[in-house]
Structure 1
Amino acid sequence: MNNDDQKKYNILQNIMQKLNQKYIALPENETKRNNKLLVVIDRIVQKIRSKSPLFDNLYQNKYYGGSYYDNLKISQPSEYDLDCVLCLPKIAEPTVEVSDKPGYVHVVLNMQALEKKVDEAPKYIGLEKLLKGNRLCAKKVKSWMEGLMALILPTTLVVKIDDSEYSVKDTFFVVPKSPSDTDTVYWRLSFQEQERELISGYAVMKPTIRLIKKIRDRYQHKIASYFIKTVFLWELENVDKNLWNKTLSYVFMTSLQNRTTDMHLQMLRKYAQYIAHKNIPYYWNKDYNLIGDLSETTTNCIANKLKNIADEVDRNYQNSPYDIVQYFCMDSCLLQKSTLKLSSKKFRWLKDLREELEVKRADEARDRNELMKVISMVNKKVDDLVKKTEPSKDDFLDLLLDSNETLTRTSNFQSQQNL
C-alpha cells in the first residue's frame, strides 16, 4: 500500500480525533469519579457474605468486565458489569460438558461425593437447590443471587446481576446466560480477560470500536457492544497487526487488506459486511452466530445504512470533511451550512436549563452544581463565538460536541431524579 493510500483520509484525522476525545471517550474526571463510586461494591459483597454461608464459602473474588473496564465505554457509565467469581467445591467434582448448542456448556456436579465429606458438606448446604438433576441451573443461580441482593439493598436501587460469573476453572468463566428461558441448564463460556488482552496494545483499535459504537447509538441499531468487539477480534486475525497503529482516520475509513482473501475493505464497511451476511461468529466457537436471532429485515436495514454512510463519506470528505460529524451527533447542521452564522437564540435552552436547575432540591446539590458548571462553560463558548467575525468550523465543532455532551449529561441527571 503506497503513501498516497495512507494519506487519503488525513483530512478527516483532526475531526475524528476530536470526536473521539471530546465526545466519545470518557473524560478523565468522570472515570475517576465513577471508580470512587465502585467502592460501595466491596461493602455489598461483604454484606452478602455475612447473610449467606453458602455464598461466603463459594465466593472467590470480584471481576470487573464489560465496556467500561475494556475502555470501550462511549457514554457516562450508569451501570457496571460486576462479576462475582464463585469457586465450586473440588470435592463435588465439577466438570464442564459440551452441550448440543454451540457456545454453551453444562456444569455438572457430583453431590453424592460432596455429601460423603462430613467435614466439608455443611459449608455448602443449599447448593443442591441450585441444581436441576446433576447440572447447575443458570435460572436458579440467578434467582438465588437476586434474593441475596434483595436482602441487603433498598428496593429503589437498580443492580445489574445478569452477567455475574461463576468460575469452574481458573482459565475461563461460565456465565448464566442461556439460549432461552426454557434452556435453564445451559451456561455460556466467557473469556473476558483473554479478550481484554487481545485488543490491548493497538493505538487506534479501541477508538475505532468506540466510533462504530457511536454510529450504532446514533441510529439506534440493535447490535450489542460485545458483537462489535467480536468483529474486531476476528479482524485481528485477518489483517496485518501493524495497521492498528496507524492514524484513526486511516484505520476507520481506509481500505484494509485481508491477508487471507486479498480483499480491501474499509473497517466501517467490514463491520457492515458482517451484518449483511447476518453472521458474527462467537470468537471462541465460530459455530455460534451472535446475531442469529436478528431478522433479515433488521440486518439488511442496518447493513444498508452503514454502506450508505461509508459511500457518502467517500463522496464528500475531500470537499466537505466536516459532514462526517452528522453520523455521530444529532445537531450537526451547524457544520454543514455553507455560510457559518451563529445565533445565541439557538442555544437559549442552555440558559433556560440553568435557571431550571437552580431551583432543584438542596440534596441534589453536588450533581446539580457539576452540571451547571458544564452549562455555564458552554454558555460562555456561545457568547464568545457570537462575538467572532469569522468563526472557523473547528470552533463550531468544539461547541457542537460540548452542547451534545451537555444534553447527554442533562438527560442522565434528570433520569436519576425520576428514580
Structure 2
Amino acid sequence: MAMSRLEEALQEINREKIQLKDEEIKRNNQLLHEMMEFFIGEFKKDSFFNSIYERFFFGGSFYDGLKVGKPNEFDIDLVFTLPTAANATIATHDDHPGFVQVKVDRNVGTLNDGTLLHIKNIMKWFQGLVDTAKNAMRYHNLNFSVVKTTVTVGPAITFTIGDKRYGKQFDVDFVPCFKFPSSQWLGNYVRLTEGSVDPNDQLTKEFLVVPKPRDNYCQTLFRLSFQGQERLLLEGKGHVKPAIRLLKLYRDQHTDSPIKSYYLKTLALHALQDSSFIYKDATLSSVFVQVT
C-alpha cells in the first residue's frame, strides 16, 4: 500500500513538475539547429578548423533526457580529431584521476605548448573563431541574435541566444573536445560497455578529452569524457531516467544543496552496474527507491 501511494505521488510529480512543454522544445530546437548551421558554416571557413573538425555532438541533460525545468540550456560538443602526423597520445596521472595530458610530436596549429596540448591556447584559438563568426552575422538574415557570450576558464564559451520571433532567450555552451580511439584508453574501459550496449556502436570505440583544467594553474590536464557511453548505458532502462529527474527536482528545491547533476547521474550509473538492481518491468517508485 505504501509503495502504491509513493508510485502515485511520483507519477504526479513527474507529470506536473518535470515534463517539458513540447511547443517550447520544438521552437528552441529549430532555432538551435539554425544557429548550429550558421556557426559551423562560418567556422569551416577557417582552414585549420576544417582540417581537424569531425562533427558536433548534442550533449548535456536535455539530450540525455534528464532535463528538469525549461528547455533553455543546451550543450554542444565540437569534436576534433588531431592530425595523424602529430602522433597524439594520452598520458594519465595517478595524482589526478579523471584527467590526462595530450602529448604531440609536432605543432598542431597554435594549440600546443611544446609537446603538450595547452588549454589556454585552445580557448584563445576557439574564441577567435567565435568572434569572427559573430562579426559575420550582420551580413545574414537570421532568426536569432547573440545577446552575449561568456567565456569561462574552460571548456565552454556560452552563447545567450535571443529568439527574434518570440522574444525568448536560451543558453548554448560550445565545448571544443578531442576524440581518441578506445585503444588509447589505459584503464578498464571494457566495463563501460560489456553486456550493456552494442559493442559495435561507434560510441564504444572512442572517448573524448575536454579542455576543462583541474585548476587555473595547470593548463595541460584535460578532463576525460564518456558522455556518449553514459547515454548508451541509460537508454532503454525503464524508469531510471525519470528517477534521476526526480532526484534533480528534489535537489533544486533545496537551494543550499551542493550536489551536482552529474553526481546524481553517476549514482544511477553505479546502480546499473549492480547485479541486484532491478529496472526491467519495475515501477517508478521501485527504481527510485533502489537508486536512492
State the TM bucket, normalised to the shorter chain.
0.7 to 0.9
Partner of 1:275: none
**Alignment-derived partner of residue 235 in structure 2:** 200
Q: Distance in 2 between matches of 1:41 and 1:157?
A: 16
What SS does the aligned partner of 1:229 have?
helix
Name the amino acid aligned to 2:85: I
Pairing of 1:116-135 with structure 2 (within 5 A): 127-135=108-116
SS at the partner of 1:13?
Answer: helix
| Mapped pair 1:89 → 2:101 | no
> Which residue matches 1:238?
274
Asked if structure 2 preserves the Cα contact closer than 8 Å seen for 1:10 and 1:250, the reply is: no
SS of the residue aligned with 1:206? helix
Quote how far apart the aligned CAs of 1:162 are. 6.3
Report the CA distance between 1:138 and its aligned residue: 1.8
RMSD: 1.9
Q: Does 1:34 align with 2:33?
A: no
Equivalent residue number for residue 185 of structure 1: 220
Q: Is the 8 A contact 1:244 1:251 kept in 2?
A: no
Q: Does 1:47 align with 2:42?
A: yes
Alignment of 1:5-404 (within 5 A): 7-39=1-33, 40-50=35-45, 52-99=46-93, 100-111=95-106, 127-153=108-134, 156-158=147-149, 159=159, 160-161=172-173, 163-169=175-181, 171-220=206-255, 221-243=257-279, 245-253=281-289, 256=290, 267-268=291-292
**Offset at 1:37?**
1.7
| Unmatched segments (≥5 aa) in structure 1 | 1-6, 115-126, 257-266, 269-419
Structure 2: 5+ residue stretches without partners: 136-145, 150-158, 160-171, 182-204
- Post-superposition CA distance 1:383-410 (Å, at most 9, x none): xxxxxxxxxxxxxxxxxxxxxxxxxxxx
Query: CA 1:161/1:141 → structure 2, altered by over 3 Å: closer, same or farther?
Result: farther
Q: Is the 8 A contact 1:142 1:162 kept in 2?
A: no
Tell me by how many angstroms 1:164 deviates.
2.9
Q: Which amino acid aligns with 2:179?
A: S
CA distance in 1 between counterparts of 2:277 and 2:37 reads: 39
What is the rounded CA distance, in whole Å, between the counterparts of 1:57 and 1:78 in structure 2? 32
C-alpha offsets along residues 90-121 of structure 1, whole Å, 9 cap, x if unaligned? Answer: 1111111112411111111111xx7xxxxxxx
2:138 match: none
TM-score (structure 2 length as normaliser): 0.75
Q: TM-score w.r.t. structure 1 length? A: 0.53
* 2:43–2:129 CA contact under 8 A, matched in 1: yes
Task: Give the 3 Å change call, closer, same or farther, for CA 236–82 of structure 1 in structure 2.
Answer: same
| Structural mapping, 1:404-419, within 5 Å | none
Letter in 1 for 2:16: K
Q: What is residue 190 of structure 2 aligned with on the other side?
A: none
Instruction: Measure, in 2, the Cα distance between the counterparts of 1:164 and 1:76.
Output: 25
CA contact (8 A) 2:240 2:279 kept: no
Distance 1:148 1:74 in 2: 32
Structure 1: distance between partners of 2:130 and 2:109: 20
Alpha-carbon separation, structure 2, partners of 1:96 and 1:131: 14
Q: Structure 2: which amino acid aligns with 1:65?
A: G
Deviation string 1:136-170 (CA, Å, 9 cap, x unpaired) is 01222122212211222266333254643222335
Greater share of residues in strand? 2
Structure 1 counterpart of 2:42, one-letter code: K
Q: Report SS of the residue matched to 2:285.
A: helix
| Distance in 1 (alpha carbons) for counterparts of 2:274 and 2:2 | 22
- 8 Å CA contact 2:278, 2:287 repeated in 1: no
Provide closer, same or farther for how the CA distance between residues 161 and 30 of structure 1 changes in structure 2, counting only shifts above 3 A: closer
Structure 2 residue matching 1:173: 3-state secondary structure: strand
Alpha carbons of structure 1 residues 166 and 230: separation in structure 2 relative to 1, 3 Å: same
The residue type equivalent to 1:47 in the other structure is: E
Greater fraction helix = 1
Greater length-normalized contact order (CA 8 Å, ≥ 6 residues apart): 2
Supply the distance in 1 between the matched residues of 2:56 and 2:174 (Cα, whole angstroms). 15
Larger Rg, first or second structure (1 or 2): 1
CA distance in 2 between counterparts of 1:149 and 1:207 reads 36
Give the total of aligned pairs.
Answer: 235
Question: Which amino acid counterpart does residue 11 of structure 1 have in structure 2?
Answer: R
Deviations 1:290-342 (A, max 9, x none): xxxxxxxxxxxxxxxxxxxxxxxxxxxxxxxxxxxxxxxxxxxxxxxxxxxxx
Quote how far apart the aligned CAs of 1:29 are: 2.5
